[in-house]
Structures are given as C-alpha cells and as structure tokens.
C-alpha cells in the first residue's frame, strides 16, 4: 500500500528461503516441496506480492504477450467504424487470455516497418496476430521471413508463406449467389472492392454461381464503408434506374448503406430487391428488415488464430485454416 515495493528477494527473506526457491515456488515448480510451495504462495498473496514482469521477461526471454496489429488501409479507413473488425479483436482478446497471454494492441503506424525488431527482438511480444491482410501483404511476409511468429486473419486460400486463418469466402460468395437466385433475383449487384483478397474470393464465388445459372452480375467497386455504398446506390438509381433485383454486399455495414438508399427511394426490401450481407454483425439481427447475411464464426477464428500462433512459439509450423461459414436467412431476402 505504501511506496516501498516488495521484491522477490524480500519475499524470500520473509519466508526464510533463497530467491531461487521463492521463484520456483511461485511458478509451481515441482522441484520444490509441495508444502514449501504452498507456504510461499500464501505469503505472496498476503503481502500482495507480484513479480516484476520486466525483470522476468528480460531474464527468461519470454514475454507472454501477443501483439495484435490492426492492419488498416489508411486511405479508405475501413477503420474503427466497422463493428466487425472490433468484434474480431474482442474475440481474440478472450482467446488470448484463455491461454494465459496478454494482448498488446497495436496498429501499423505504431509498430513501424520492422515488426520483427519492434515486437520480437524488442521483447514486447512473443508473436503477432495481424488482423486484415489488406492489399499489401509484403510487409507481413517480410516480418514472417525475419522470423516473427505470426498468423493473419484474412483469406486462407491466398498464396502466402505465413499461415492465414479466415472464412471460406469463395463458398460464402456461392451461398449468397444461390440464395439470391432461389429468392428470385436474376440481376445482381456486387458491392465491394475485389482487389481486397477476401472480397475478391467472395466476388469470384458469387460470379461462378451466377454465370452457371446465366444470371447477370454487375460489379460496383466501392470502399468498405456504408457511406460509399449509400452513395453508390443512389448514383446508380439516378443514372440507370432500378434495373437490378438483388444485392450482394461485401460486408453488413455496406449492406446497410445500400438498404438505406433503397428504402429512401421507396424500393421495397425484399420485394423489389433482395439483399445479402457478410459478417453477421449484431445489427444484422436487430435491424428492420433484419439482414440476411453470411455469418463468420469470429470466436472460432480467434481461437484458431491464437492456437496456431502458440504452435509456432513451440517451434512448429502452422498451416492455413479455412473456417466454415453459414448463410443466415432473414427478412431482407
């Protein structure tokens, strides 16, 4: 409670043992007699003792910290306004804690270019989880090549040296397409930028399915925000009128932007236009009409990301993983 902190040596003295014994006791090392261990642990608790993490990390070369990098495109700033990304971070946080690690939240701005140096060599974290492959994967590859234990959330089917965990975006595109067809749509708009790895897969999955059915798909390449979707749909209705009857949006936020534009012009959803989104954020269920969407299992993804990172910390290699997705049919289609 005062200012004078108790050190391990101090605790050891109180217990009448050496610092080595104290250290081992606190770590539950079976070398130490169970009784002694208990005694020292109790003593530590009574005195509110806690190890100095800095010293511990310095000596043991292990931080027990995992860094999460939000790899945002700063131009488009998908950023913090998309609840999905933050949901992912939240789930990762839980998974990380479950494994006894702590979570250092970073962005590419802070960490600079040399992730290996900053995080690993700099002993800030043992490994890195990158959220958002973005468009430039070279930096991730560089960090991985330099020896950074690393996993990325992104599109698992993309060719990359480092392990990627993500949803089966291609299949997601297919599901959305067949669903729209089933619901009677034949002229479909795709909202999203296929240059982005994950979105590209969704687009191709959708495209293949529609071509097979001889339905037509038109691409409206927009930023990953609801505003740009709103604008794009408005523009589209002005210039060409309502010549589509289905929309596949690359994210739920984008879908909501589109939906708003449609409803403001008295286009009925789902009667005139069916809409399918992607992500299944909390809002999708609670909006009106509620949004049909492709659900990504972020909780499972988070656990997989973390466990694949831990595998690397053990020295083994981890592989990519594709998580199943699921279409959730709601009122918008």
87 touches a second copy (CB under 8 A): yes
Picking from 71, 129, 84, the residue whose alpha carbon sits closest to that of residue 102 is: 129
**What track of x and - describes contact with DNA for positions 51 through 90 (by CB under 7 A)?**
xx--xx-xxxx-----------------------------
C-alpha dihedral (6, 126, 73, 319), degrees to nearest 10: -150
| Nearest residue (CB) to DNA, 123 versus 260 | 123
C-alpha dihedral (15, 16, 17, 23), degrees to nearest 10: 20
The entry of DNA, a second copy, none near residue 263 (CB within 5 to 8 angstroms by kind) is a second copy
The entry of a second copy, DNA, none near residue 102 (CB within 5 to 8 angstroms by kind) is a second copy
**What track of x and - describes contact with a second copy for positions 204 through 233 (by CB under 8 A)?**
----------------------xx--x---
The entry of DNA, a second copy, none near residue 183 (CB within 5 to 8 angstroms by kind) is none
Record the tokens describing residue 152, joined without a space: 């990325």
125 touches DNA (CB under 7 A): no
| Nearest residue (CB) to DNA, 14 versus 51 | 51
3 touches a second copy (CB under 8 A): yes
128, β-bridge pairs: 67, 150
Measured from the CB of residue 64, what is the shortest distance to DNA in angstroms? 10
CA dist 199 and 4 (Å) reads: 56
Show contacts with a second copy in window 55-84 (CB under 8 A): 55, 57-58, 63, 65, 68, 79-83
Region class of 295: left (phi > 0), else alpha (psi between -120 and 50), else beta: beta
Residues 6+ apart with CB under 8 A from 136: none
272 touches a second copy (CB under 8 A): no
Among 19, 76, 79, 139, binds DNA (CB under 7 A): 19
The entry of a second copy, DNA, none near residue 1 (CB within 5 to 8 angstroms by kind) is a second copy
Candidate ranges 8-16, 173-181, 217-225, 268-276; the one touching DNA (CB under 7 A) = 8-16
Helix, strand, or coil (residue 275): strand
The entry of DNA, a second copy, none near residue 265 (CB within 5 to 8 angstroms by kind) is none
44 touches DNA (CB under 7 A): no
For residue 219, CA distances in Å to 178, 214, 215, 241, 296 come to 17, 16, 13, 16, 23
> CB atoms < 10 A from the CB of 121, how many?
13
Long-range CB contacts (< 8 A, 24+ apart) of 154-162?
154/130, 154/197, 154/198, 155/197, 155/198, 155/200, 155/201, 156/320, 156/321, 156/322, 157/201, 157/320, 157/322, 158/133, 158/197, 160/320
Binding region for DNA (CB under 7 A): 5, 7-9, 16-21, 23-24, 26-27, 31-33, 36, 51-52, 55-56, 58-61
């Amino acid at each position: 409670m005062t200012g004078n902190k108790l050190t391990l040596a101090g605790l050891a003295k109180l217990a009448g043992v050496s610092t080595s014994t104290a250290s081992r006791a606190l770590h539950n090392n079976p070398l130490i007699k169970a009784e002694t261990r208990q005694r020292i642990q109790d003593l530590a608790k009574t005195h509110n003792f806690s190890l100095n993490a800095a010293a511990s990390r310095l000596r043991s070369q292990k931080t027990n910290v995992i860094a999460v990098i939000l790899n945002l495109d700063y131009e488009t700033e998908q950023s913090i306004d998309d609840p999905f990304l933050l949901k992912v971070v939240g789930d990762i946080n839980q998974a990380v804690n479950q494994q006894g690690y702590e979570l250092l939240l970073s962005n590419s701005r802070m960490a600079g270019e040399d992730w290996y140096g900053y995080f690993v060599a700099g002993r800030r974290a043992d490994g890195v989880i990158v959220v958002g492959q973005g468009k430039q994967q070279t930096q991730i590859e560089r960090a991985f090549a330099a020896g950074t234990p690393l996993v990325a959330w992104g599109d698992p089917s993309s060719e990359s040296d480092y392990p990627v965990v993500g949803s089966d975006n291609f299949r997601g595109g297919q599901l959305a397409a067949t669903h729209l067809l089933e619901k009677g749509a034949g002229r479909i708009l795709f909202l999203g930028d296929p240059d982005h790895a994950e979105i590209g897969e969704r687009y191709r999955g959708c495209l293949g399915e529609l071509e097979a059915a001889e339905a037509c798909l038109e691409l409206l390449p927009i930023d990953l925000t609801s505003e740009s979707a709103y604008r794009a749909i408005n523009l589209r209705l002005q210039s060409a009128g309502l010549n589509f009857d289905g929309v596949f949006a690359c994210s739920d936020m984008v879908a909501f932007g589109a939906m708003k534009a449609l409803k403001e012009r008295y286009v009925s959803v789902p009667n005139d236009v069916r809409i399918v989104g992607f992500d299944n954020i909390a809002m999708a269920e609670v909006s009106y009409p509620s949004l049909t969407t492709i659900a990504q299992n972020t909780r499972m993804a988070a656990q997989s990301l973390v466990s694949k990172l831990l595998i690397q910390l053990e020295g083994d290699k981890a592989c990519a993983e594709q998580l199943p997705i699921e279409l959730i049919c709601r009122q918008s289609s």
